[in-house]
Amino acid sequence: MNENTLTQAPASTVTRRLLTCGVVAGPLYVLVAGLQVLTRDGFDLGRHPLSLLSVGDLGWIQIANFVVSGLLFVASAVGMRRALRSGRASTWGPRLVGTFGVGLVWAGVFVADPADGFPAGTPAGTPTDASWHAILHNIAPAVAFLALIAACFVFARRFAQRGQRGWAAYSAATGSRCSCRTRSSATAGSPWCWRSRPSSAGAGRRRSRPSC
């Protein structure tokens, strides 16, 4: 998505830098999480949600990943608000993107509990008693992904109004896809990430592929 797709007035240097934060945030999160998936002993992407990377001796890396990526999304939301001065999505678009960023920061501040054999030495399965910070952690995905889904449809309406049919279709399709995956994760009982096969403690319960 280029700058002209969203803006309707010349952007200042500060605004461009804020918008660039949004371009960086997604790939940064995926890169840092992906490297951890490949290097953390005992982590199985088919069984473990990425939130579990926040626990253990190296958990600070994923905590920082959540927080930094979230702050970058918040900064991009500020840039969007500065660039989108009027019209559809000029208010709620940035607000929703900012809410998504806050959800990521929230997930980093309130850490998940060890579970399903990760880190090494953790009993198999989901803990029977969740800690207070794990309970708060599980609020993050609902808020973040609902905001992201809503943002997709809000921007789809803006693009459609401006005759940018390609971007409108892309935004609507992305929102629909995220909505389906979010419902799938809720059904599987794993609100932050989706899983592809049953865990050791939940044989027979189908879960979709991790994607957060």
Instruction: Identify the band that residue 203 occupies on the pLDDT scale cut at 50, 70 and 90.
Output: very low
Written as one string, the DSSP assignment of the chain is --HHHH-SSPPPHHHHHHHHHHHHHHHHHHHHHHHHHHHSTT--TTTS-GGGGGSSTTHHHHHHHHHHHHHHHHHHHHHHHHH--SSTTTTHHHHHHHHHHHHHHHHHHSPPPPBTTBSTTPPSS--SS--HHHHHHTHHHHHHHHHHHHHHHHHHHHHHHTT-HHHHHHHHHHHHHHHHHHHHHHHHT-SS---SS--TTSTT---PPP--
User: Residue 195 has what pLDDT?
Assistant: 41
Q: What is the pLDDT of residues 95-150, one digit of tens each?
A: 999 999 999 999 999 999 898 888 888 888 777 888 999 999 989 888 999 999 99
Going from N- to C-terminal start, the domains of the chain cover 11-114+132-188
Q: What is the pLDDT of residues 152-168, one digit of tens each?
A: 999 999 999 888 999 99
Q: What is the pLDDT of residues 16-72, one digit of tens each?
A: 999 999 999 999 999 999 999 999 999 998 888 899 999 999 999 999 999 999 999
Q: What is the pLDDT of residues 85-98, one digit of tens each?
A: 778 888 899 999 99
Q: Residues 189-203: what's their mean pLDDT?
A: 40
Using the predicted structure, report yes or no on whether residue 76 has a pLDDT greater than 90. Answer: yes
